[in-house]
Amino acid sequence: MREQWNNRLVFVLAAVGSAAGLGNIWRFPYQVASNGGGAFLIPYFIALVTVGIPMLCLEFYMGHRFRSGAPTAWGKICKRGETLGWFSIFVAFMVAAYYSVIIGWIFNYLAFSLNLAWTKTGSSDFFFNNVLKISSGPFNLGGFSKVVVIGVALTWISVYLAIKDGTESVGKIVKYTVALPILLLFIMVVRIAFLDGAISGFDYYLKPDFSKLKDFSVWSAAYGQILLSVGLGYGIMIAYSSYLPKDSDITLNATITALANSGISFLAGFSVFGTLGYIAQATGKTIAEVAGSGGIGMAFVVYPEAITKLPFGYWGQVLFALSFFIMLLTLGIDSAFSLVENVTTALSDKFDYSKKKTTKVTISLMFILSLLFTTKGGLYWLDIMDHYLNNFGVIPIVLIELLLIIKYVKLENLLKYLDERSDVKFRFGVQIFCFAGISLGLIFGGVIIKEVMSFVRGSFYGGYSGKAIFVGGYLMMMVGVISSILLRKNTEKKELVIEEV
Amino acid sequence: MSLGSIIVLIFGCSFLYGGLAYCLFLTKGEKK
């Protein structure tokens, strides 16, 4: 019999834990601040209601209805759909490999926090030269950074311990990995709010500039943020919902998951910009000057530097640094293990493998792949692959998922299935899903146009060489598509043999 | 903090946390 979540709370916590990750801390607040401040929340909330929640309902529906991981579930609505399922597993596999390395850095920084190790050399120099030992370019791998390898090994051990007993062990751990970061964030925000300059930081974060709403790129950023933040397209939500009891309320669970995820992002903004507001005032700079541009640099350069300038005394700074990295660790680790659990669910469902053995093999393979990103040139590959997996992996996957549902299931049947099981009924459901389809199409169209333009101009993403983009972007995505097609064809043959016997 | 930011703060909190609280209220007493 298929394993099940112990109760609704555990499932919702697991889904929230998966959706809420490092991007909630280092991406969302910067998106808000640079796209019209509080005005950005209008397209963001519209995107949440028109894409985030509906598409989460759709993925929960797939897992719940077909009670299996992404490839098997999509294969049940149309044979070729299985290719899409395998492609989402490929994306999850690759993302897990580099995401684990970022978690590894957090493990490193937990240790470094004990003596604020980055103070001596400056946080930027410390991160790039002492920790990553970064090389001159992507094709100069230059051996491993030992400290990062240790961090990554710790990550994979933690991930294994978290998912070794499937929903049972995940259910136990998500109570802590979801509650703890929220609690820590909340404490940090309250403490920071009393610092001089914090309020001007909050103002920088939220001050609305409604003229930005005329700008298409702001709307595109809002939809992109929702799409990449809710955890759609990896197959995770399909895998997790496949362990739900049969009478589960999908719509309400999806709404809670999406709102909680956005709620964590919104709260994180106060922590980030409150601190930056204080630093700006203390150093006589503007917030824009001290803020940087978010992403990895925010977590490992800007924020550690800011911590050493907080007026808490040495041990207060150590405690604050530990709180920050424990918050990041607990926020990120449940996203990491959900990616792995998703891959093992897909493999064990499709091939009837023992889930425990599959977990061990999958983690071993992912660990080996993640070693690429622990090399001195690893950060370059991480950056390139992250860009292509998000833009040419997640976005088209979610779009095709919706198109497959429209063609093979019909929106009316999907909505009927959702409404029958929910206390909350969809209103204007067909219109909302159609709007989601148009929005996704526009976003993906924008991504393709941007890529073609950069190709024509010869100025590739991040200023990398065409060769690096070809290997880390185009070739990797081609491998993903071809391996997904082969996996489907291979399983089709196997099924044929079984039928003939 | 400007009036605009305060309005955004109230709006954001009401939408996200109010919405979340309402959804959690709806799950009350249900095991689904």
| Alpha carbon of B15: minimum distance to chain A alpha carbons (Å) | 8
Mean of pLDDT values over A373-398: 96
Query: What is the per-residue pLDDT for B14?
Result: 95
* pLDDT tens column, A272-307: 999 999 999 999 999 988 888 888 999 999 999 999
Interface test with B, best of A11, A200, A259 (most B CBs within 10 A): A259
> Six-digit token pair at A304?
């550690």
Question: Which of the 8 DSSP states describes residue A250?
Answer: H
HEC per residue, A346-365: HHHHHHCCCHHHHHHHHHHH
pLDDT higher than 60, residue A402: yes
Q: Which of the four pLDDT bands, split at 50, 70 and 90, describes residue A500?
A: very low
Q: Do A249 and B32 touch (CB under 8 A)?
A: yes
Kindly give the parts of chain B with pLDDT less than 50.
Answer: 31
Q: Which of the four pLDDT bands, split at 50, 70 and 90, describes residue A489?
A: confident
Query: What is the per-residue pLDDT for A498?
Result: 44
Of the candidates B1, B19, B30, the beta carbon closest to that of A202 is on B1
pLDDT higher than 80, residue A242: yes
Q: How far apart are CA A468 and CA A451, in angstroms?
A: 15
> Six-digit token pair at A383?
């950056």
pLDDT higher than 90, residue A319: yes
Of the candidates B8, B24, B31, the beta carbon closest to that of A208 is on B8
Q: Do B1 and A424 touch (CB under 8 A)?
A: no
Q: How far apart are CA A200 and CA B2, in angstroms?
A: 9
- If you measure CA to CA, which chain A residue comes closest to B26? A423
pLDDT over 70 percentage in chain A: 98
* pLDDT tens column, A139-160: 999 999 999 999 999 999 999 9
Query: What is the per-residue pLDDT for A490?
Result: 79
Global pTM? 0.94
Q: Do B20 and A259 touch (CB under 8 A)?
A: yes
Contacts of B7 in chain A (CB under 8 A): 38, 208
SS3 of residue A248 by DSSP: coil
Query: What is the per-residue pLDDT for A494?
Result: 56
Of the candidates A7, A203, A424, the beta carbon closest to that of B2 is on A203
- State the average pLDDT for chain A: 93
Bridge partners for A375 per DSSP: A144
Q: Contact at 8 Å (CB) between A232 and A394?
A: yes
pLDDT over 90 percentage in chain A: 89
Q: Which strand (E) or helix (H) includes residue A122?
A: none
Long-range contacts of the stretch A461-464 (C-beta < 8 A, 24+): A461/A384, A461/A387, A462/A383, A462/A384, A462/A387, A464/A138, A464/A380, A464/A384
Q: Which of the four pLDDT bands, split at 50, 70 and 90, describes residue A495?
A: low
- If you measure CA to CA, which chain B residue comes closest to A11? B32
Interface test with B, best of A186, A266, A425 (most B CBs within 10 A): A266
Higher-pLDDT residue of A293 and A317 is A317
